[in-house]
Amino acid sequence: MTKKIKGRRINWLLLFGAAGAGKGTQAARIREILEKHGLRVALLATGDLFRNPPGTLDRGVVSQISENMKKGVLVDDAVTMVIAGEALNAKLEEDPDWVILDGLPRNVFQLAAVLFAMTSIGLAHFFTFELAVADSLLIPRLQGRKTCKSCGKVHPASTDLAGACPKCGKVTLFIRDDDSNPKSIRNRLGDYRKTISSVLDALRKLISTLELKDRFSVETVDGSLPEDSVTDRIIKHLDLQDQPA
């Protein structure tokens, strides 16, 4: 087991984007495509993780997390990194070829922790994509969008709350607290705009300082395009024909 871990070379894919930019949707689509190529994929979405925190977590911490989420405020960085680190560790047991991070890192502190984890766990290639979408488009996307409690899929606001989930057929659609609250939407979008440029700048600086261009890439994709066009643009960068089947 130890020997296998030592030899591990993982491709890391990070998705950045404001709330409603489509990170969760794209993460699921990319995972499906990679799996069709016979690749093992670990997907870690910190928002999903915090919505279903590990049962072993202190109840005070759990209620603090849900308070923050309701308000659209980030969970404490150190708490985030420990909880995400444990969840990632469990997923690494499956020996993935790819790790997709959705919603992590959200600032430079978290980026540093992710870089440390990636380089110590094993790194083949590192891809980051920012899904760029204007706030004027994000606000109506977020307001009233429906999330399925059973399968996690997010559906547009036009979806009937009382109806069946168009993906899994279960009648378990709900509106997330943070999507029904205008203040929470403003907080999340404001936070994202404040932090994303420093994260991308730090990454670009790292790539040029250490001459990592052949293994690291930072791309921006127009997230206002239809879902499948966004996926196509991301997949085009991943050089899938070079992957072991």
Three-state SS at 113: helix
Nearest distance in Å: CB 217, ligand ADP? 21
Under the binding rule (CB under 6 A), the answer on residue 68 touching ligand ADP is yes
Calpha distance 15→41 (Å, rounded): 15
Nearest distance in Å: CB 155, Zn ion? 8
150 binds, among ligand ADP, Zn ion, none (CB under 5 to 8 A by kind): Zn ion
Calpha distance 67→73 (Å, rounded): 9
> Which residue's beta carbon is nearest to the bound ligand ADP?
47
Three-state SS at 226: coil
The answer to whether 48 touches 153, Cβ cutoff 8 Å, is: no
Which residues, numbered 128-187, are part of the site for ligand ADP (CB under 6 A)?
A: 178
Question: Measured from the CB atom, is 51 or 167 closer to Zn ion?
Answer: 167
Q: List strand residue ranges (DSSP E) for the chain, in order.
A: 11-17, 41-45, 98-102, 126-132, 146-148, 154-155, 173-174, 216-222
Under the binding rule (CB under 6 A), the answer on residue 110 touching ligand ADP is yes
Q: Which of 50, 98, 129, 216 binds ligand ADP (CB under 6 A)?
A: 50
| HEC secondary structure over 20-78 | CCCHHHHHHHHHHHHHHCCCCEEEEEHHHHHHCCCCCCCHHHHHHHHHHHHHCCCCCHH
Calpha distance 202→185 (Å, rounded): 26
The answer to whether 73 touches 19, Cβ cutoff 8 Å, is: no
The answer to whether 140 touches 156, Cβ cutoff 8 Å, is: no
Question: Measured from the CB atom, is 143 or 243 closer to ligand ADP?
Answer: 143
Under the binding rule (CB under 6 A), the answer on residue 31 touching ligand ADP is no
Under the binding rule (CB under 6 A), the answer on residue 74 touching ligand ADP is yes
Query: Which spans of this chain sit near Zn ion (rule: CB under 5 A)?
Result: 148, 150-151, 165, 167-168
Under the binding rule (CB under 6 A), the answer on residue 26 touching ligand ADP is no
96 binds, among ligand ADP, Zn ion, none (CB under 5 to 8 A by kind): none
The answer to whether 178 touches 142, Cβ cutoff 8 Å, is: no
Under the binding rule (CB under 6 A), the answer on residue 114 touching ligand ADP is no
168 binds, among ligand ADP, Zn ion, none (CB under 5 to 8 A by kind): Zn ion
Q: Which of 11, 25, 26, 46 binds ligand ADP (CB under 6 A)?
A: 46
Instruction: List residues binding ligand ADP (CB under 6 A).
Output: 19, 46-47, 50, 68-69, 72-75, 80, 103-104, 106, 110, 178, 188
